[in-house]
């Protein structure tokens, strides 16, 4: 009798395929294997034993090609893959693929060569040779490349000394992915609330099992130090910690703090790792050799051998929602993963998401409160600048009162931050003769002027072109004018207002790599910059010691789209940005330039009344049945042809199973009606909280007609974006 196993392959499929286990191969569920799939071999995972394979398929089943030499995926990770696939309606193979991102071939270690002094000095001495000999006089083996670099010689000089018998070549042990952090390397002196918070975390860890804690502390209160105590406890217990960050490019300062506390850097996991580093990190995590991993949302899918703690820093951050491929919220999935693995989860924020705040208020999550800043620093005071009454001069964007405050700040040798959440020079360019507006040929969107790149760019599809010489409509030349500001235009104004100041613009499109970003942030931290002009990149978790003044250039920007989360996001973003001010010395101060100083979000920010904001927002969500008091799902239908998209969307809505608790809204043309040449229609499904939305959608979609041609249906459970 042949043995057959069901294998999940990492392609967009839900069902497993059966393969024959060749004689002599020992396979268990979870084993990582190679199987033939169509013309190629793919890395896949044994999902289950198949005790009674369909006899009709018997002769057509292929053999498992080989078993990879890596630890099997644990039941806990396989359950997580199953759960997430079911909840988000993503094919299981697509989710599985995210756990197998170790690179195609793990391959053997690359050999690292070193050199060591063994023989007498060479006959012929040169200054270069002398430098190498001085360096290696310690008798230890040095990596060859490093030795050449440190001695300031070419590798040829070293080879020459090997030929002469002065040095010998040795094979060095592979460098570990991460050296073990020392939980007792340099514990800080925690202050009172931190001590209490750390104790609560240690208790949760000691008790074992699943729990969720929210470290709810104002900006600058030292939340990181508190969860570091949880990390230390987990290291002592010999278990692994996963720390999720919304934006891995922003973790430079975090890595330094980790190193200061634990003596070494943690392992990193993100998309910019080299394939080799990726493969080695994956294996080391699976082997349990990596005690702490800090990563972007994809770190959720690593095969931890002995997971003991999950931390989600800045848990409210929108970047945790993945919007393409598998649509999932990494914070929510972290909680699920913690539940399946039965380990404590720590969420961390100064402005928790409404979902998390409700869970904390209802006692489902334990709240660890840090209501004061570390070192007794005050929170910044905030005032509004009413743009209707005291706005800037025409075609300028900085009101006189804000400009005056910036002037005073830099005269005092402090830093100022001007925040505008808009990349580029101007969001719109129009012809001032005929009114023609330059728009994207593929999308329902204006082209954004990016002067630094000398191009007009579509922020939805990436289309770009230079500014045309003449207006395409009236053929007039030199009539184009920019409308509204982006950070590049703001920079121009700042240069005019403060010609002597050192200015830095921080915007994601101006920054090529993680390393580059880290350097820029370090420049600011070290005080080499007077005025920072930035987009939301600057909002996230930095500590700029000399920054005391923050000006929000357009506080109303995020409120403009009628999205159900607009107020929450605006509150969080502005609170976080202003929270960059006054963290170490002096008193921070924030200005909000707004047309609506009476808006509840502005009033809550100015009054520093966080509770008032949450009270009002929670009450509204409860009354209207929006999350977390109800559930939402979005179905996006798109096609190259508008009628095709609309017809299919109507058809789909027409066959929605009727259920007294469920409301199916739409289809309606999406607010962004065309993207990349595709016409878009949205259906929104709304249900009570205690309702199996995923099951409902599955029933519905099993009846849906096949999408043909350019038609595409995208499902988003718990959507964050409604565009
Ligand atoms: P948050 O993340 O809450 O905004 P941080 O964790 O960044 O705050 O802490 C703010 C600053 O205070 C950091 O520079 C941090 O090093 C410092 N800090 C916090 N707690 C302590 C402590 N107990 N001892 C020394 N420095 C601390
Ligand atoms: Zn476009």
pLDDT, tens digit, for every residue of 148-164?
A: 888 889 888 998 999 88
Q: What residue has token string 């999406």?
A: 670
Q: How many CB atoms lie within 10 A of CB 540?
A: 20
Q: Are 373 and 220 in contact (CB under 8 A)?
A: yes
What's the fold here for domain 4-99?
A: GIY-YIG endonuclease (3.40.1440)
Average pLDDT (265-270) is: 93
Q: Is the pLDDT of residue 173 over 80?
A: no
- Residue 268 Cα to ligand 1 middle (Å): 22
- For residue 347, the number of C-alpha atoms closer than 13 Å in the C-beta half-sphere is 32
CA-closest residue to ligand 1 atom 14: 543
Q: Is the CB of 221 under 6 A from ligand 1?
A: yes
- Residue 584 Cα to ligand 1 middle (Å): 10
Give the residue extent of every domain in the chain.
4-99, 112-172, 192-375, 377-422+485-619, 435-478, 630-717
Residue 547: its pLDDT value, please? 92
* Closest CA relative to residue 630, chosen from 586, 602, 665, 599: 665
What's the fold here for domain 377-422+485-619?
A: Rossmann fold (3.40.50)
H/E run at residue 358:
helix 354-361
Q: Is the pLDDT of residue 697 over 60?
A: yes
* Ligand (nearest to CA of 674): 2
Q: Measured between alpha carbons, how far is 128 from 151 in angstroms, rounded to an integer? A: 8
The distance in angstroms from the start CA to the end CA of the chain is 56
Residue 718: its pLDDT value, please? 95
Q: Is the CB of 377 under 6 A from ligand 1?
A: no
Q: Measured between alpha carbons, how far is 35 from 44 in angstroms, rounded to an integer? A: 7
Q: Are 705 and 639 in contact (CB under 8 A)?
A: no
What's the fold here for domain 630-717?
A: Alpha-Beta Plaits (3.30.70)
Q: For ligand 2, a single-atom ion, which residues have Cβ within 5 Å? A: 440, 442-443, 458, 460-461, 463
Average pLDDT (330-348) is: 98
Q: Is the pLDDT of residue 467 over 60?
A: yes
Q: Are 54 and 45 in contact (CB under 8 A)?
A: no
H/E run at residue 590:
strand 589-594
- Most confident among 14-18, 68-72, 359-363 (mean pLDDT): 359-363
pLDDT in tens, 470-528: 999 999 999 999 999 999 999 999 999 999 999 999 888 877 777 788 888 889 989 99
Average pLDDT (714-719) is: 95
Task: Give 270's DSSP letter.
Answer: S
Enter the tokens of residue 462: 């990436």
Q: What pairs with residue 384 in β-bridges?
A: 592
Enter the tokens of residue 80: 């997580």
Q: Is the pLDDT of residue 635 over 80?
A: yes
pLDDT in tens, 442-463: 999 999 999 988 899 999 888 9
Average pLDDT, the chain: 92
Q: Is the pLDDT of residue 283 over 60?
A: yes
Average pLDDT (625-639) is: 96
288: exposed, middle or buried (C-beta count within 10 Å: 0-12, 13-18, 19+)?
middle
Q: Identical fold at 192-375 and 377-422+485-619?
A: yes
Average pLDDT (265-292) is: 90
Average pLDDT (544-563) is: 89
As a whole-number percent, the residues of the chain with pLDDT over 70 amount to 98
- Residue 567 Cα to ligand 2 middle (Å): 27
CATH assignment, 192-375: 3.40.50.300
Q: Are 371 and 193 in contact (CB under 8 A)?
A: yes
Q: Are 334 and 348 in contact (CB under 8 A)?
A: no
Backbone angles phi, psi at 713, to 5 degrees: -120, 125
pLDDT in tens, 558-601: 887 668 888 999 999 999 999 888 877 778 999 999 999 999 99
């Amino acid at each position: 009798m042949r043995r057959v196993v069901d294998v999940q392959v990492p392609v967009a499929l839900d069902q497993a395929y059966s393969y024959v286990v060749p004689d002599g191969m020992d396979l268990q569920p979870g084993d990582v294997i190679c199987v033939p799939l169509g013309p190629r071999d793919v890395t896949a995972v044994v999902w289950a034993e198949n005790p009674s394979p369909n006899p009709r398929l018997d002769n057509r089943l292929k053999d498992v090609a080989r078993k990879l030499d890596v630890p099997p995926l644990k039941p806990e990770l396989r359950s997580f893959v199953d759960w997430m696939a079911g909840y988000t309606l993503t094919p299981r193979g697509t989710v599985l693929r995210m756990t197998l991102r170790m690179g195609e071939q793990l391959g053997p270690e690359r050999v690292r060569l070193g050199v060591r002094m063994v023989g007498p000095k060479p006959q012929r001495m040169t200054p270069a040779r002398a430098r190498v000999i001085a360096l290696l006089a310690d008798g230890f083996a040095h990596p060859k490349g490093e030795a050449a670099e440190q001695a300031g010689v070419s590798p040829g000089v070293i080879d020459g000394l090997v030929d002469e018998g002065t040095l010998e070549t040795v094979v060095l042990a592979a460098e570990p992915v991460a050296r073990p952090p020392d939980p007792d390397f340099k514990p800080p002196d925690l202050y009172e609330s931190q001590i209490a918070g750390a104790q609560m975390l240690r208790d949760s860890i000691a008790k074992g099992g699943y729990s969720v804690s929210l470290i709810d502390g104002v900006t600058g209160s030292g939340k990181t130090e508190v969860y570091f105590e949880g990390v230390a406890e987990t290291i002592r217990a010999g278990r692994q910690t996963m720390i999720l960050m919304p934006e891995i490019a922003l973790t430079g300062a975090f890595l330094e703090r980790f190193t200061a506390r634990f003596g070494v850097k943690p392992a990193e996991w993100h998309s910019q790792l080299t394939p080799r580093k990726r493969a080695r990190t994956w294996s080391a995590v699976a082997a349990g050799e990596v005690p702490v991993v800090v990563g972007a949302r994809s770190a959720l899918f690593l095969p931890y051998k002995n997971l003991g703690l999950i931390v989600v820093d800045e848990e409210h951050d929108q970047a945790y929602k993945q919007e393409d491929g598998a649509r999932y919220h990494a914070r929510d999935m972290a909680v699920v993963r913690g539940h399946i693995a039965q380990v404590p989860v720590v969420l961390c924020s100064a402005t928790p998401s409404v979902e998390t705040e409700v869970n904390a208020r209802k006692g489902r999550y334990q709240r660890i409160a840090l209501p004061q800043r570390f070192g007794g620093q005050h929170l910044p005071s905030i005032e509004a600048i009413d743009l209707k009454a005291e706005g800037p001069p025409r075609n300028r964007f900085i009101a006189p009162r804000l400009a005056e405050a910036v002037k005073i700040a830099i005269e005092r040798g402090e830093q100022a931050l001007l925040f505008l959440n808009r990349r580029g020079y101007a969001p719109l360019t129009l012809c001032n003769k005929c009114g023609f507006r330059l728009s994207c040929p593929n999308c329902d969107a204006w082209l954004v002027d990016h002067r630094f790149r000398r191009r007009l760019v579509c922020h939805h599809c990436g289309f770009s072109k230079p500014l045309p010489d003449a207006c395409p409509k009236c053929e007039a030349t030199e009539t184009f004018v920019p409308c509204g500001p982006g950070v590049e235009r703001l920079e121009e104004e700042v240069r005019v207002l403060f010609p002597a100041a050192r200015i830095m613009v921080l915007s994601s499109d101006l920054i090529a790599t993680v390393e580059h970003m880290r350097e820029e942030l370090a420049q600011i931290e070290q005080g080499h910059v007077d005025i920072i002009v930035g987009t939301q990149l600057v909002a996230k978790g930095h500590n700029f010691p000399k920054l005391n003044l923050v000006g929000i250039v357009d506080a109303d920007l995020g409120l403009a789209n009628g999205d159900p989360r607009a107020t929450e996001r605006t509150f969080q973003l502005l609170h976080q940005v202003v929270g960059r001010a006054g963290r170490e010395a002096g008193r921070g101060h924030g200005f909000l330039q707004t047309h609506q100083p009476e808006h509840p979000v502005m009033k809550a920010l100015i009054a520093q009344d966080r509770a008032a904001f949450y009270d009002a927002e929670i009450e509204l969500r409860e009354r209207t049945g929006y999350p977390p008091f109800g559930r939402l799902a979005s179905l996006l239908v798109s096609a190259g042809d508008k009628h095709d998209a609309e017809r299919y969307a109507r058809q789909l809505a027409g066959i929605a199973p009727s259920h007294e608790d469920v409301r199916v809204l739409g289809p309606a043309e999406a607010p962004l009606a065309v993207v990349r040449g595709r016409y878009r229609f949205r259906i929104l499904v709304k249900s009570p909280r205690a309702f199996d939305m995923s099951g409902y959608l599955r029933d519905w979609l099993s009846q849906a007609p096949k999408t043909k041609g350019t038609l595409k249906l995208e499902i988003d459970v718990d959507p964050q974006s409604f565009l």
